[in-house]
Structure 1
Amino acid sequence: MSINEIVESLIAQYLSERGLKESLAAFKLELNRTFSDNGDLLEERLYDIVEDRYKFLDLKKANEDDIQALNNTVALPVWKLPNPVIGEELVPLGSNLVISTTVGNLKLSNQTSPCIVISTSSNELQIFDLNGVKLAGFEKVLKSISKVVLIIEDSPLLLCGGMDGHLSILDVITEEIQSFQLHGRLLSDMKYLPIDESHGYLVSIGMDNNVTLSTIDFTDIKNIQFSKSQFRMLTRPTCIDFFKFQKHFLVIANRVDTSLISVFMVNDGNELVELCRLSTDDSEFSSHGFQVGALAHHITDEKLLISAATNHIPYMRLITLVLPDLYELIDYWVKEEGKDTDGDLLSKLRSLSINQIHEQQFTNKTHVIRNVILSSVNTSAPQDKYSVQQIATRDSKNGVWIFSDDGVIRGLNLSSGTIIEELKSHEGRIKSAAAFTSNDGDELLFTSGATDRRTKRWSATPPRPSSG
């Protein structure tokens, strides 16, 4: 649509919402144009755009004497040494392309040890120790190539997200497989967090536009119980992150054609509720200038910081934001709904009508929060329109690792906004990567190349000899 058509659609939407039927009819007649119920509507309402503008002007006036007002209240993490600098090639994989790389503590036989699990383009799963010694392998035991593989910590179970949208749970000891349908089409990413010793949440996104929250019961690993709920996005989700903050499970997600990050909370009915959308582009009152391809989080001083890797060309940008307090977000909804509720956060959430919405809509009232950007830096990581962004946080040592198309791993110091480390890992782009901190506190990076078909390990110290 042209700019004029967009403005006209916004006006028609506003008149319709206000119930001004005669004015809307006259507006259509004078323009000689009709407006469908949904087709011509935009993501943001005219009211929201004007409200955002007034909020921006208020913020500008309040901060005109201190342009770093927000930055002065939230400290960005400072890079800490040591960090990985020693690179070693692990076992070569021949002509196979690595699709997914994950690292975690996996139970093999009666022993639990840190392992690397790699899925390949030939539908293989290969398990290595941290020095690259092969421990196990599975050839074509799954119906579909695994796009994402996750390890259930200290168990023999692998969660394998297939390109057919299925979740396959593989027991590496018994080789038994249990499968569940997550998405109608390709599954593109998933994250797992435990609830307790025998239950966990799995959040996944797929080409069917859904963010799926699955509740998995591992009480009997031979008969795993599974249930799911879905939240449908307006367009295809591009990335997710999943974490626990202020004792509650939160999901953040971006989608195609928007720079807004949706923030979801898991309610006590094991469903996703969209609390708000965070703006990553306050300089323009537009949400379509770019999109986010990867997300990571940092929890520091009771603040939750979110780092978002963008699809800017020719170089990726990394935007870091601070998430408002959860009670502030819920109180906003209480005020918006005109309800007076007491109780804890989940009780308030349960009482709101948004608790019943399981898809994004053009006309919903989801709050867009601005003025939460702490930094926006050029990472010097080259990319084009086909690039897939990959980043990882450094756990307690702070900072962000960026895995680039030129085969270089870049370490970004969030506090200064500078690249503090560059590790040449591959000839050509990095296809998959994983960061891991061992029980001994060693920080390790594992990468696989798309062109050279090599897998490398990066560490701060030479590797320890393999046990056994």
Structure 2
Amino acid sequence: MPPKDSTALIVARFLKSNNYNESYDAFIAEAGLPSDAGTVAKGDLILETLLEEKKAFDLSSQFERLGMDEDEDRSWRQPAPSVAEPLQTLPSRSNILSIGAQKSTVFVTSADRQLHILDSNARFHATSLTGMQDSPILCCKVWHDHYLLTGSMSGQLILSDFSGHVFEKRRDHSKYIVQIATYYDDFIATAGWDNKISIYRPLPSVDGQPCLGDVVSTIVLPSKPEAMIFIQDEESRQPILLVSRTDSSFLYYYTVNSEPHLVGRQNLAPHSNAWVAFTPSAFALCPTDTSLLAVALSTVPHMKLAIIRLLVPPYHQTTTSGRDLQSPQGNDNLSSETQASQARAALAIADREEAAILVHCNTLAPQTAYSTPAVVWRPNGTGVWVNGDDGVVRGIESVTGKIVTTLHGHDVGSKVRCLWAGNIGKDGEEILLSGGFDQKLIAWKIPQ
């Protein structure tokens, strides 16, 4: 007799309990089972139980932490971009690496080292700049409204204007500048795969020429930086650099004035007692509530999305090795603390971090360990868009984590590399831009 949970016995029980007598006799004869194999005893596994458990598992996987509060202000708002308009104005076909926009101007970089500048008011007419960088441009950022910062695979940072005139070239990274962040006109930060973040404090313009100046400080990380943005401390009104890095489930908060200090961290898996195999690979601040952060996680085989409340630590707080950075008791009187009090403080911190995770859901966007997750907010803050390795862009409602819409415009099975969402053009039309390794650049527009 095979084990009670064997496939053959489960099928036999199904056939006998549903009175498929002829099929049952033929099956047990062919499978070599005894005549009473289909008799169901208490505790035996049956097919219906398996299906119920599978449905429950699928539901829990898809909606791991749903916000059930039907907040109309944050519910997915219609109409939303859904009509694909492939942009054919690029002079050449190549993998799209990054997308950015400023007012009516769109900036697109491609693997053939070109920077394409598109005018949305002129049917996305493209002007392409070739040879400005010595390798493909991985990221670009508008600075001071009139200038452009571009970071390349070689680690070179270039400050130019929109016409391609170069003001300054710097090579403070040895490879792969993957992120550029700016804080008004005061600070610029670049993150590279040399495990460094370089911070610049631009100098006053000389004869109208902008100048980055030398690196004023460097943050050295134990692993590669993944995502990076500037936020503002509400109490001190000082800038804080929010960073995530490979093989860590934490968000890290750094000061940037004078010498950078790590003032706190926020765990996205606070109650896990095992090594967590995911990284916050991409994140974006909500445009209507800057205390909310959408985070795309590097989970496989599907991307998971977390929408969290930022727990910004006190700006003046400093760090001490071996102690949790957000302990409410600070770093004083370490020797007087008992093991029990430390455990209670750690649990309180974990509970606070857990409560800050408002939504944690499965986006069903396939990805591998080599994928580059991307997440962008709708300008009204009612949802986010995420990319995928299957050529599909998915819209997720921010209040519930539900998949509201799927956009099919890229080639099936191709990687959607980058996204941008916002209002653009003279009329402030809401638009979504997506670029992929199928060499397509698509503008998703609201149906007329």
Shorter-chain TM-score above 0.5: yes
Distance 2:179 2:315 in 1: 30
Distance 1:317 1:76 in 2: 24
CA distance in 1, matches of 2:447, 2:135: 38
- Give the structure 2 partner of residue 458 of structure 1: 444
Partner of 1:138: 129
> TM-score normalised to the size of structure 2?
0.70
Q: Which residue of 2 aligns with 1:99?
A: 97
Give the structure 2 partner of residue 410 of structure 1: 394
Other structure's SS at 2:209 match: coil
| 1:90 pairs with one of 67, 87, 92 | 87
CA-to-aligned-CA distance 1:365-424 (integer Å, 9 cap, x gap): xx9873232221011111122211000112333321112211211111121110112111
What residue is the counterpart of 1:32 in the other structure? none
Measured in 2, the distance between the counterparts of 1:174 and 1:388 equals 28
For residues 189 and 174 of structure 1, what CA distance do their matches in structure 2 show?
20
Q: Corresponding residue for 2:194?
A: 208
Judge conservation of contact 2:391–2:415 (CA < 8 Å) in 1.
yes
Q: 1:319 aligned to 2:302? A: no
- CA deviations 1:179-209 (Å, max 9, x no partner) are 1233122211112231xxxx33222211111
Change in Cα spacing, 1:251 to 1:80, as seen in structure 2 (3 Å) is farther
Matched length? 349
Aligned counterparts of 2:437 and 2:359: Cα–Cα separation in 1? 31
CA distance in 1, matches of 2:427, 2:102: 13
Cα deviation, residue 92, structure 1: 5.5
Q: Specify the SS of the correspondent of 1:165.
A: coil
Determine the C-alpha separation between the residues in 2 that align with 1:231 and 1:264. Answer: 9
Residue pair 2:178, 2:193 contacting (<8 A) in 1 also: yes
Q: Does 1:265 align with 2:255?
A: yes
- Is residue 71–residue 374 contact of structure 1 (8 Å, CA) maintained in 2? no
% identical aligned pairs: 21
CA contact (8 A) 1:412 1:421 kept: yes
Q: 1:440 to 1:338 in 2, by over 3 A?
A: farther
Cα distance in 1 for residues equivalent to 2:288 and 2:163: 39
Instruction: Determine if contact 2:378/2:385 at 8 Å carries over to the other structure.
Output: yes
Cα deviation, 1:417-457, whole Å, max 9, x if unaligned, reads 10112111301111222222236432111111202x11110
| Distance in structure 2 (CA, Å) of the matches to 1:398 and 1:330 | 34
One-letter amino acid of the counterpart of residue 402, structure 1 = V
Q: How far did residue 160 of structure 1 move?
A: 0.8
Question: Distance between the aligned counterparts of 2:255 and 2:154, measured in 1?
Answer: 27
SS where residue 380 of structure 2 aligns? helix
Cα separation, 2, equivalents of 1:294 and 1:436: 17
Q: Are residues 1:295 and 2:283 paired?
A: yes
2 CA distance for matches of 1:296 and 1:102? 14
Q: Distance in 1 between matches of 2:149 and 2:387?
A: 24
Query: What are structure 1's unaligned runs of at least 5 residues?
Result: 1-67, 106-113, 340-366, 463-468
- Alignment match of 1:284 (pick from 269, 272, 279): 272
2:361 pairs, out of 377, 380, 388, with 377
Q: 1:389 is matched with which residue?
A: 373
1:336 maps to 330
The answer on whether the counterparts of 2:168 and 2:212 sit within 8 Å (CA) in structure 1 is no
**Pairwise CA distance, 1:104:** 1.0
Task: Show CA shifts across 1:18-74 (max 9, x none).
Answer: xxxxxxxxxxxxxxxxxxxxxxxxxxxxxxxxxxxxxxxxxxxxxxxxxx9x999x9
| Cα shift at 1:223 | 4.8
Q: 1:212 to 1:81 in 2, by over 3 A?
A: farther
Any idea what SS the aligned residue of 1:370 has? Answer: helix
Secondary structure of the residue that 1:433 maps to in structure 2? Answer: strand
The structure-2 alpha-carbon separation of the partners of 1:393 and 1:273, relative to structure 1 and needing over 3 Å to count, comes to farther
Letter in 2 for 1:437: N
Instruction: Confirm or deny: 8 A CA contact 1:238 1:255 kept in the other structure.
Output: yes
| Residues in 2 aligned to 1:96 and 1:299: alpha-carbon distance in whole angstroms | 31
Per the alignment, in what secondary structure is the counterpart of residue 261 of structure 2? strand
Aligned partner letter, 1:448 = G
**Counterpart residue type for residue 129 of structure 1:** D
Tell me the CA shift for residue 248 of structure 1.
3.1
TM-score by length of 1: 0.67
Q: 1:274 to 1:85 in 2, by over 3 A?
A: same
- Cα pair distance change 1:87/1:161, threshold 3 Å: same
8 Å contact kept, 1:120–1:145:
yes
Aligned to 2:76: 79
Aligned to 1:13: none
Q: What does residue 233 of structure 1 align with? A: 221
Report the CA distance shift for 1:120/1:148 in structure 2 as closer, same or farther (over 3 A): same
The match for 1:421 is 405
Cα deviation digits, residues 248-269 of structure 1 (max 9, x gap):
32222221111111122333x2
**Kept in 2: contact 1:260–1:287 (CA 8 A):** no
Counterpart selection for 1:159 from 143, 146, 149: 149
Q: Which residue of structure 1 aligns with residue 433 of structure 2?
A: 446
Q: Secondary structure of 1:337's match?
A: coil
Q: Please state how far the C-alpha of 1:174 moved relative to its aligned partner.
A: 7.0
Q: What CA distance in whole angstroms lies between the structure 2 residues aligned with 1:210 and 1:97?
A: 27
CA drift at 1:329: 8.3
